Amino acid sequence: MGPLISEEEISRERDQLRLILSNLREGLIALDSEENIIEMNDGAFRLLGPAALRPARGLLGASLIEVIRNASLQRFVRKTLESGQAGVEETISIDLGHDERYLQIYASPLANANLAAAGMAGVGRPGLLLVLYDVTRVHHLENVRRDFVANVSHELKTPITSIKGFVETLLDGAVDNPEDARRFLGIISRQADRLNSIFEDLLSLSRIEQERERGGIRLEERSVADIVEEAVQSCQFFAEERKIRLVREVPEGMRAVMHPTLLEQALVNLIDNAIKFSDPGAVVRVLAIAREEEIELRVEDNGKGIERSHLPRIFERFYRVNKARSRREGGTGLGLAIVKHIAQAHRGRATVESEPGQGSVFKIHLPRLALQGDGTESPGVGADSNGVYR
């Protein structure tokens, strides 16, 4: 009787299997009980990056230690082979030089029969199948969340501790001295305002995020000059107090697709900062410039400027160059994070250029969007080359 399956067919099936394995995004590694490699797909090499080396004499039968240079993974394999447990998992990190990648590894035993079929040593113990997933993003998000909770708690604790301290001092008798009482109540009131600003900023951040998750914020086409004018008006009193002159330059007739209240809030945050970090007598300029693919809103000051090392993190929540000064000025460290979120809600970006001692330029880049009938935006050119809708 001739063979039921021809060698050609077997080889074709093997090629198909290889193709499927090499196209998997997940990493797969099959090992025999002696930690020799039976199979390792391209996904595993990709995920392990610099931690994996292809041996010159081929993969089959090469030992795990030869191929994978990662102590945690080696330890995990040894432990799992010894225990023979099914469904064990662990997260390991891979050093990428400039960065780290986090891999989740699931392990399950490979039965002896399968090993024998693959011509590998069974030696009484099953081998191991490892599945590798990239969990770097999840890991990063968890860190962001953890940092955020820690930061919020810290920010709220300072004013609350202060309020509690002064209330106790008042209860302990200071209330009987009208001068002290008045002073302490003033401090309590300022700290309560501070708590209020932090809550308001946190609420605006979460409102913008929620609206975006629900399918985007409703945008409308509006005059850029009007929004800039409203933002400048809101900051006028503060500017006069600090003897700062606000100058605006917006091309006549320029229109943009925007959420007017949010965009105004972003501009107010930037103008407020520019005033805070400028010397009396200085000028803060608010400009709108039409670029080919976007409208650029700029808030420029000739103030204190920001050291280069702080720039990459300046838009993060609660990031401040000088904590004490920011608190004194009533800052929450959330202003620029709000600006960034508002820019992103417009499918745009917020950027900064700054030179210590020379000043800063904060920009909101608004992509040119075309409005659809239902008020949702779609990317496209909705205005002429000057950013003007006619």
Residues that bind ligand ADP in the complex, under the rule CB under 6 A: 269, 273-274, 277, 301, 303-304, 306, 314, 319-322, 326, 331-337, 360
- Closest separation between CB of residue 274 and ligand ADP, Å? 5
Q: How far is the CB of 242 from ligand ADP (least distance, A)?
A: 13
For 90, other C-beta atoms within 10 Å of its C-beta total: 15
Please say which residue, 137 or 328, places its beta carbon nearer to ligand ADP.
328
**Cβ partners under 8 Å of residue 273, min gap 6:** 299, 335, 336, 362
SS (H, E, C) the chain: CCCCCCHHHHHHHHHHHHHHHHHCCCEEEEECCCCEEEEECHHHHHHHHHHECCCCCCCCCCEHHHHECCHHHHHHHHHHHHHCCCCEEEEEEEECCCCEEEEEEEEEEECHHHHHHCCCCCCCCCEEEEEEEECHHHHHHHHHHHHHHHHHHHHHHHHHHHHHHHHHHHHCCHHHCHHHHHHHHHHHHHHHHHHHHHHHHHHHHHHHHHHHHCCCCCCEEEEHHHHHHHHHHHHHHHHHHCCCEEEEECCCCEEEEECHHHHHHHHHHHHHHHHHCCCCCCEEEEEEEECCCEEEEEEEECCCCCCHHHHHHCCCCCCCCCHHHHHHCCCCCCHHHHHHHHHHHCCCEEEEEEECCCEEEEEEEEECEEECCCCCEEECCCCCCCCECC
Residue 348 vs 382, nearer CB to ligand ADP: 348
Quote the least distance from Cβ 212 to ligand ADP, whole Å.
20
Strand partners, 28: 131
Shortest Å, Cβ 284 to ligand ADP = 9
d(Cα 44, Cα 77) in Å, to the nearest integer? 15
Q: Which is nearer to ligand ADP, 255 or 320 (CB)?
A: 320
- Give the nearer residue to ligand ADP in terms of CB position, either 44 or 314: 314
Residue 329 identity (one-letter amino acid)? E
Q: How far is the CB of 230 from ligand ADP (least distance, A)?
A: 19
Of 388, 384, 344, nearest in space to 365 by CA: 344
Question: Cβ 287 to ligand ADP, closest distance in Å?
Answer: 15
Q: How far is the CB of 238 from ligand ADP (least distance, A)?
A: 13
Task: State in angstroms the smallest separation of the CB of 243 from ligand ADP.
Answer: 17
Choice between 171 and 324, CB closer to ligand ADP: 324
Report, in Å, the least distance between residue 280 CB and ligand ADP. Answer: 15
Q: Which is nearer to ligand ADP, 44 or 244 (CB)?
A: 244
Minimum distance, C-beta of residue 306 to ligand ADP, in the bound complex (Å): 5
In the complex with ligand ADP, the residue whose CB is nearer, 166 or 315, is 315
Residue 189 to residues 157, 184, 194, 250, 281, Cα–Cα distance (Å): 16, 9, 9, 40, 31
Nearer to ligand ADP, 340 or 368 (CB): 340
Q: Which is nearer to ligand ADP, 75 or 325 (CB)?
A: 325
Here the tokens at position 278 are 């400028």
Nearer to ligand ADP, 331 or 382 (CB): 331
